[in-house]
Amino acid sequence: RTESPTKIVYRDRYIQVTLLLWVAAFLIQIYFKK
């Protein structure tokens, strides 16, 4: 039985932190390019 990717992301702290850092870095790049 396979779980949906969404449930895995909600459960996995490492993935959450990685996504958070990736999004933060992306937003910082956009902010400083202006």
- The full set of domain ranges for the chain reads 1-34
DSSP per-residue letters across 1-34: -PPPHHHHHHH-HHHHHHHHHHHHHHHHHHHHH-
Q: What is the pTM of this model?
A: 0.54
Give pLDDT, residue 17: 92
Per-residue pLDDT of the chain (34 residues; tens, 9 = 90+): 787 877 877 778 888 899 999 999 999 999 998 7
Give pLDDT, residue 2: 80
The answer to whether 9 and 2 are in contact (CB under 8 A) is no
